[in-house]
Amino acid sequence: HTHIYTVEQVKLLDRFSNKSVTGTLHLTATHLIFVESNSTSAQEIWILHHHIASVEKLSLTTSGCPLLIQCRNFRLVHFVIPRERDCHDIYSSLLRLLRPVSYDELYAFSYNPKQNDQEREEGWQLIDLAAEFERMGVPCDQWQLTDVNREYKVCKTYPRDLYVPITASKPIIVGSSKFRSKGRFPVLTYFYQEKKAAVCRCSQPLSGFSARCLEDEHMLQAISKANHNSRYIYVMDTRPKLNALANRAAGKGYENEDNYSNIRFQFVGIENIHVMRGSLQKLLEVVGTRSLSMTDYLVGLENSGWLRHIKAIMDAAIFLAKAVTVEGASVLVHCSDGWDRTAQVCALGSLLMDPYYRTIKGFMVLIEKDWISFGHKFADRCDQLDPDPKEVSPIFTQFLECVWQLTEQFPQAFEFSEWFLIQIHEHVHSCQFGNFLGNSQRQREDLQLKERTYSLWAHLLSEKQNYLNPLFSPSVAESHPVLEPSTQAYHFKFWRNMYNQYDRSMHPRQSILKHVLTLQESKRELEGTVQALKTKLQKFGVSTSPLKPQTPPRERSLPPRPQSLILGAPLLSRKEVQQEEDKEVFGEEAREDAPASTGGERTVEGSSATENGYGELMGSFGSKNEPGVVTLEFGVARMTC
Amino acid sequence: MELSEHIKTANVEDVTLRRPFHPALRGTLCVTSHHLLFSDRKDEASWQLLILLKNIDAIEKRAVGSSGTITIKCKDLLVLQLEIPGMEECLNIASSIEALSSLESVTEMYPFFYRPSHLTLNGPWGLSSTEQYYKQTERLWDRWRVSTVNSDYSVCPSYPSAVIVPREVDDDKLIHSARFRQGGRFPVLSYCHHRNGMVIMRSSQPLTGANKKRCKEDELLLQAVIDGSELGYIIDLRSAQQAQQARMTGGGFESKSFYSHWKRIHRHHERGKVVQESLIKLVEACSDPSHSVDRWLSKLENSKWLSHVHSALSTAGLVVECVERDGHSVLVHGSEGTDNTLLVSSLAQLILDPASRTVTGFLCLLEREWIQAGHPFQQRCAHSAYSHARLKQECPIFLLLLDCVWQVWRQFPLALEFSEALLLRLAQEVYASNYGTFLCNSEQERCAAGVKENTHCLFQSLLRPDIEEQYLNPLYEPTDLAIWPSVHPQSLQLWTGLFLRWTEYAQNMEEAREEVWSIVKEHHEQAGPDRTNNTLSTHCDTLTSFENLMDELTIL
């Protein structure tokens, strides 16, 4: 890393208490790094420039110049820099670094995980969408691959390979694409083999108040005919009816049931990107409030509307899954341009129908198909380059949250745990890997991403064991392939581990998930060792009768907890854990597995009193950690030494 | 009047029973003095439902043609429907249920009739007594003593006959202090911290009144607690304003000038009717499946239940902070000292004391801090969330305690030896039980009614090895550390296990729990028959000896 700047004696403030730590701030070409100077606990915070959403310089205080940094992964850091000069320098350098003007400046193009070209290529070959369609049973007697978009001539934002009904000829396709916003004509995205029912996606028709297009009508007819199970297809417009009506005035709109034979038209009412952006902003404001009361929290949660939007997406996906699996009908999904709400509903609906998408590999395939290849505008939505604030919106985050809500309802149905979702979210914004760069496949090819960057999926698969859900049961998937989630309001919960993921004081101190994972991991290791020893023993001609333990059992330490809440950190081996413990117990937050013999503060990790907000007492703690006498006046405690 | 005289129709055939998420069943309905029995009378595998009449909180009757429907709403939040052919039978059954479910006389209640063959009435009742607790707790011997000043319950009717007080304070001073405290609840020891000897005391409010009366003995008693020079905290569970107002009605607070070594902190806690209404609103919100997300959140907020959970845990955290981190003793009280006081002092102990996190330890804690300390169970738990009866003294403070314990368990799933199942069982037993444990309002009343001689003890029965196993937490790994829960609103959740117990929600969670069980069990089994918690280290040790052996062999 090219070092640009170093400032000593910088304070890092906790956002929920008055606690602070002092350390050194380094600015490099790619990261902002804070290293705590306290040598015993010495936490390091690495912030990728791409993760930074905004930098704010607050007005000078007696202790220095405050710098407030908000990140897209919901981290919020508050530095106080002693000299204003330094603060200003960091601030202006960051502003410059935050606004990359060309793709070449993104981290992905300089990131090198020490892999050779072949390994990189293999990484990119992990996900193969042609193979995925084959898995679904396409091409088949009713659906075929079309080369109409081979040169991106019909639709710039679609992938090259598209699947359409056998009966849809090229003129029909081209005609239909001209009648659809951005040329995004109806194509296959998921095929439910059991009932030969298809899930198709497109953008809104350019119908205005009365326009019609025979080719488009033929196209829908062809989709309908490709499914002998049902005489009609559903057309789901995922927008609220009012929005669709308003679009008619601009020459767009929705399908007129009179013009299309055998369609059943349905609005499902998911709000647009601007509403979602505003909603998330409100949500983050609420959950970032200091000494938040329960009432303000619940009222704020309600007023943000966030969970209502999540439920709307879920409702739409459930409608889709039911139509396909129960009625055996094909469904065509669209919104305005067919790359936001449509992607959400198609992807989530497929996930409900097909257990494969609930595995780690399958989930990658699903994202690659419905989001990346079909042109969800990651660059615009996630603010990668030259941002237009009006284009930014947490559409993909909502999808990840819907999946999380499902993992909560069906603890055994998913191969992955929430850490997998959170890690994906992290990298959608990190621009460290090539997968999510740009807005469309065509753009990605122009950027030569496969030659110049690495694939996230290979990276995630290499640390797969960190993302496993120990409760996953493939047999449950076999007996209940289609998930039927309940949409009762109380099932929709706030995702604390996402939106407050960096606020460590808030998280449960012990995790069943990690505990069970560790048990399984060590079991595997031990079994391996036992096997190896047995074979060795046999070599010596010793019979392998079970030995009784000769030493009394020791106190066993609790499973290791990775330092980062992004539990992407690999499970530590026992030896490392021991070192970790030795290092950490002297810090202010003793770990849950601190050996009782050491003299560390005897509280469980992260739950040191100052962080928990027991009201007034914590409100006025200074930064001093030494135990002192508490004096109280009018019920307010203060620390004195 | 004999109980049986309330029963005009004892048996009805052809009754249809409807329960949530189960198919309707036809069978026979039977009313006895204490139970409602439904049996589907199939030849093989007959299925029965037995409900304690005391468990029934409210019933609603409706006539449909010549038959009637009775909706039964239980205190454990289950709602049932019975379709009874014949209007007269229906009305008879309904009136029997109404009369028999609201018995006032303790000795007529079912625990006095419950005589299972595997239990005998002889032998000690309960898990422990004040004297036994004192004997077992060596750290108390030096500075504390057991006082039997209340042996005839005349000093404080709601205290047990023996209490623990500072050694240097004689009984005479206690009597004076008792006169100065509401209901005679003078400051007594609740917990002595094993790491630094600091204590949690509890009492009721001092009766300073409008004239700022003082009581020398009370001051000396508290002075003796903190041993002269140090500093103690009084956590007053009312707002400063409420404490001021209490003076108008004869109550009050410890003034700074007379208790110079004590610092007062006020924390507002809702009590009585407000908390009861919270429960009613919450249960109502949970039982309407048609709510939109917005409406649900608004109803959840409006019930304020989670706010009560939040304040209880926060104040308990504050107490722990004083005791554990800053090394000061604490006196907790509100007004009467029988509700929120007990809630806060027992939660603080759960956070501080590893001994109270085992099954036995937790039940002992409940016995000491709730049963013996005189929480008026009979008044507080007369009705639950469905009753239309006019509220008198009902208040689900004990349920609130269980909810808070559940929140701690959520955040420290490895630290408690018991599982959610125990909390759910207690939530049910406290309202309607075969056992005498939760009967009456105080030890004095229990004595007078002969509870200990004529009923069985719930806690003893829960600790029988075959029963206890159902309530164990498979992940339990004892830790000596204090377990401070996070009290950010984002960290607290609705206790779905209780409030959504009878919805489809429970099922998937149950399956997942079983899966965790089986994974952990597999490990226990590998550890060998001794089933130690230290499975992995046992393995490691085995392997080390293996390896040593290997090395020797190699050398040979």
User: At CA A442, angle to CA A437 and CA A448, rounded to 5?
Assistant: 60
Of A496, A503, A512, the CB nearest to B516: A512
Decide if A635 and B265 are in contact by the 8 Å CB cutoff: yes
**If DSSP states are collapsed to H, E and C, what string results for B108-124?**
HCHHHCCCCCCCCCCCC
- CA dihedral for A170, A171, A174, A176, sign (positive or negative): negative
Decide if A308 and B195 are in contact by the 8 Å CB cutoff: no
In which residue are the tokens 């699947």 written? A163
Flag whether A168 is in a domain.
yes
Distance from CA of B321 to the nearest CA of A (A): 7
Flag whether A43 is in a domain.
yes
- Which residues in chain B have Cβ-Cβ distances shorter than 8 Å to A410? 508
Flag whether A382 is in a domain.
yes
Q: Inter-axis angle of helices A214-225 and A170-178, to 10 degrees?
A: 120
Distance from CA of A89 to the nearest CA of B (A): 36
- Which residues in chain A have Cβ-Cβ distances shorter than 8 Å to B539? 522, 526
Angstrom distances, CA of residue B133 to CA of A198, A569, B88: 71, 47, 56
What is the C-alpha to C-alpha distance for residues A341 and A243, in angstroms, rounded to an integer? Answer: 13
State the pLDDT confidence band at A292, using cuts at 50, 70 and 90.
Answer: very high
pLDDT over 90 at A545, yes or no: no
Decide if A547 and B491 are in contact by the 8 Å CB cutoff: no
Residue A222: strand, helix, or coil = helix
Q: Which two tokens stand for residue B162?
A: 């023996």
B33 contacts B4 by C-beta, under 8 angstroms: yes
Distance from CA of B382 to the nearest CA of A (A): 29
Instruction: Read off the pLDDT of each residue in A473-499 and give the average, rounded to a whole number.
Output: 91
Asked whether residue A390 falls in the same domain as residue A266, the answer is: yes
Q: Is A557 annotated as a binding residue?
A: no
Asked whether residue A69 falls in the same domain as residue A158, the answer is: no
pLDDT over 90 at A581, yes or no: no
pLDDT digits (tens, 9 = 90+) for B370-409: 999 999 999 999 889 898 877 788 999 999 999 999 999 9
Q: Which two tokens stand for residue A281?
A: 């902003």
Flag whether A546 is in a domain.
no
Asked whether residue A86 falls in the same domain as residue A57, the answer is: yes
What is the C-alpha to C-alpha distance for residues B498 and A86, in angstroms, rounded to an integer? Answer: 55
- What single DSSP character describes residue B157? T
What is the C-alpha to C-alpha distance for residues A552 and A555, in angstroms, rounded to an integer? Answer: 10
B524: phi then psi, degrees, rounded to nearest 5: -60, -45
Radius of gyration of chain A (CA): 27
Decide if B322 and A630 are in contact by the 8 Å CB cutoff: yes
Distance from CA of B260 to the nearest CA of A (A): 12
Decide if A632 and B233 are in contact by the 8 Å CB cutoff: yes
Expressed as residue numbers, the domain containing A234 is 117-506
Residue type (1 letter), A25: L
pLDDT digits (tens, 9 = 90+) for A594-603: 333 333 333 4
Residue of chain A minimizing CA distance to B473: A512
Decide if A590 and B541 are in contact by the 8 Å CB cutoff: no
* B498 CB within 8 Å of a chain A CB: no
Residue of chain A minimizing CA distance to B543: A530
Q: What is the predicted pLDDT for the residue at B40?
A: 83
Asked whether residue A63 falls in the same domain as residue A155, the answer is: no
Asked whether residue A413 falls in the same domain as residue A269, the answer is: yes
A605 contacts B479 by C-beta, under 8 angstroms: no
A352, burial (CB in 10 Å: exposed 0-12, middle 13-18, buried 19+): buried
Angstrom distances, CA of residue A380 to CA of A55, A604, B362: 20, 42, 56
Q: Which of B81, B93, B84 is nearest to B19 (CA)?
A: B81
Answer with the one of A484, A506, A528 that is the final residue of a domain: A506
- Which residues in chain B have Cβ-Cβ distances shorter than 8 Å to A296? 489
**Count of A-B CB contacts under 8 Å:** 255
Q: What is the predicted pLDDT for the residue at B44?
A: 66
A432 contacts A108 by C-beta, under 8 angstroms: yes
- Which residues in chain B have Cβ-Cβ distances shorter than 8 Å to A307? 293, 297
In which residue are the tokens 């503060």 written? A601
Number of other CB atoms surrounding residue B50 within 10 Å: 11
Cα A303 off chain centre by: 24
- What single DSSP character describes residue A548? P
B 412-431 near A (Cβ less than 8 A): 412-415
Q: What is the predicted pLDDT for the residue at B102?
A: 83
Of B300, B327, B550, the CB nearest to A298: B300
Q: Which two tokens stand for residue A284?
A: 């983050």
Flag whether A84 is in a domain.
yes
Number of other CB atoms surrounding residue A443 within 10 Å: 18
Decide if A409 and B508 are in contact by the 8 Å CB cutoff: yes
What is the C-alpha to C-alpha distance for residues B395 and B381, in angstroms, rounded to an integer? Answer: 7
- Which residues in chain B have Cβ-Cβ distances shorter than 8 Å to A294? 301, 304, 306-307, 309-310, 489, 492
B 256-275 near A (Cβ less than 8 A): 263-267
Decide if B318 and A488 are in contact by the 8 Å CB cutoff: no
State the pLDDT confidence band at A513, using cuts at 50, 70 and 90.
Answer: confident
Contacts for A437 with CB less than 8 Å, ≥ 6 apart: A103, A106, A108, A378, A379, A384, A431, A444, A447, A449, A453
Asked whether residue A71 falls in the same domain as residue A148, the answer is: no
* B201 CB within 8 Å of a chain A CB: no
- CA dihedral for B90, B91, B93, B98, sign (positive or negative): positive
- Which residues in chain A have Cβ-Cβ distances shorter than 8 Å to B479? 558, 592, 604
Flag whether A527 is in a domain.
no
**Average pLDDT of chain A, as a whole number:** 82
* B298 CB within 8 Å of a chain A CB: yes
Q: Which two tokens stand for residue A516?
A: 């069970």
B2: phi then psi, degrees, rounded to nearest 5: -65, 150
Distance from CA of B226 to the nearest CA of A (A): 15
Decide if A629 and B415 are in contact by the 8 Å CB cutoff: no
A320 contacts A342 by C-beta, under 8 angstroms: no
Q: Which of A155, A335, A382, A402 is catalytic?
A: A335
Distance from CA of A611 to the nearest CA of B (A): 8
Number of other CB atoms surrounding residue A374 within 10 Å: 24
- Which residues in chain B have Cβ-Cβ distances shorter than 8 Å to A503? 488
Q: Is A439 annotated as a binding residue?
A: no
Asked whether residue A12 falls in the same domain as residue A152, the answer is: no
- What single DSSP character describes residue A205? B
In which residue are the tokens 């070449």 written? A104
* Prior bond of B376 cis (ω within 30°): no
A65 contacts A91 by C-beta, under 8 angstroms: no
What is the C-alpha to C-alpha distance for residues A602 and A610, in angstroms, rounded to an integer? Answer: 14
Euclidean distance between the first and the last CA atom of chain B, given in angstroms as a whole number: 91
Answer with the one of A454, A471, A506 that is the final residue of a domain: A506
- Which residues in chain B have Cβ-Cβ distances shorter than 8 Å to A558? 414, 477, 479
Q: Which of A545, A526, A575 is nearest to B526 (CA)?
A: A526
Domain count, chain A: 2
Assembly ipTM: 0.88
* B517 CB within 8 Å of a chain A CB: no
Q: Which of B325, B63, B438, B364 is nearest to B191 (CA)?
A: B364
Strand partners, B79: B73
More confident residue, A247 or A19: A247
* B43 CB within 8 Å of a chain A CB: no
Flag whether A628 is in a domain.
no
Asked whether residue A34 falls in the same domain as residue A133, the answer is: no
Decide if B293 and A489 are in contact by the 8 Å CB cutoff: yes
* B325 CB within 8 Å of a chain A CB: yes
Q: Is A337 annotated as a binding residue?
A: yes
Q: What is the predicted pLDDT for the residue at A478?
A: 87
Decide if A551 and B541 are in contact by the 8 Å CB cutoff: yes
Asked whether residue A408 falls in the same domain as residue A263, the answer is: yes
Strand partners, A190: A199
Number of other CB atoms surrounding residue B360 within 10 Å: 17
Decide if A590 and B414 are in contact by the 8 Å CB cutoff: no
Distance from CA of B499 to the nearest CA of A (A): 11
- Which residues in chain B have Cβ-Cβ distances shorter than 8 Å to A301? 297
Instruction: Read off the pLDDT of each residue in A175-203 and give the average, rounded to a whole number.
Output: 95
Flag whether A88 is in a domain.
yes
Percent of chain A with pLDDT over 90: 57
What is the C-alpha to C-alpha distance for residues B72 and A611, in angstroms, rounded to an integer? Answer: 46
- Which residues in chain B have Cβ-Cβ distances shorter than 8 Å to A626? none
In which residue are the tokens 């204590």 written? B199
Q: What is the predicted pLDDT for the residue at B524?
A: 62
A22, burial (CB in 10 Å: exposed 0-12, middle 13-18, buried 19+): middle
Q: Is A338 annotated as a binding residue?
A: yes
Residue type (1 letter), B136: Q
Q: What is the predicted pLDDT for the residue at B551?
A: 55
CATH (domain of A31): 2.30.29.30
pLDDT digits (tens, 9 = 90+) for A619-635: 332 222 322 222 222 22
Distance from CA of A405 to the nearest CA of B (A): 13
Q: Where do the DSSP E strands lie in B345-456?
A: none
What is the C-alpha to C-alpha distance for residues B242 and B267, in angstroms, rounded to an integer? Answer: 10
Decide if A554 and B534 are in contact by the 8 Å CB cutoff: yes
In which residue are the tokens 């006169």 written? B179
**Model pTM?**
0.87
* B411 CB within 8 Å of a chain A CB: yes
Decide if A616 and B265 are in contact by the 8 Å CB cutoff: yes
Answer with the one of A51, A70, A99 that is the final residue of a domain: A99
Decide if A507 and B486 are in contact by the 8 Å CB cutoff: yes
Q: What is the predicted pLDDT for the residue at B226?
A: 86
* B534 CB within 8 Å of a chain A CB: yes
Q: What kind and span of H or E run contains A330? A: strand A330-334
- What single DSSP character describes residue A566? S
B 70-89 near A (Cβ less than 8 A): none
Q: Is A341 annotated as a binding residue?
A: yes
Q: What is the predicted pLDDT for the residue at B1?
A: 63
What is the C-alpha to C-alpha distance for residues A326 and A195, in angstroms, rounded to an integer? Answer: 9
B85: phi then psi, degrees, rounded to nearest 5: -70, 130
Per-residue tens of pLDDT for chain B, all 556 residues: 677 788 888 888 888 898 887 888 888 888 888 998 888 876 666 788 899 999 999 999 888 878 888 999 999 999 999 988 888 888 888 888 888 888 888 888 898 888 888 777 877 888 889 999 999 998 888 899 999 999 999 999 999 999 999 999 999 999 999 999 999 999 999 999 988 889 999 999 999 998 889 999 999 999 988 876 678 999 999 999 999 999 999 999 998 889 988 999 999 999 888 999 999 999 999 888 888 999 999 999 999 999 999 999 999 999 999 998 888 999 999 999 999 999 999 999 999 999 999 999 999 999 999 999 999 999 999 889 898 877 788 999 999 999 999 999 989 988 999 999 999 999 999 999 999 999 999 999 999 999 988 999 999 989 988 888 889 988 888 888 889 898 999 999 999 889 988 776 666 677 777 777 777 777 666 544 443 344 444 444 555 555 555 555 555 4
Whether A402 is catalytic: no
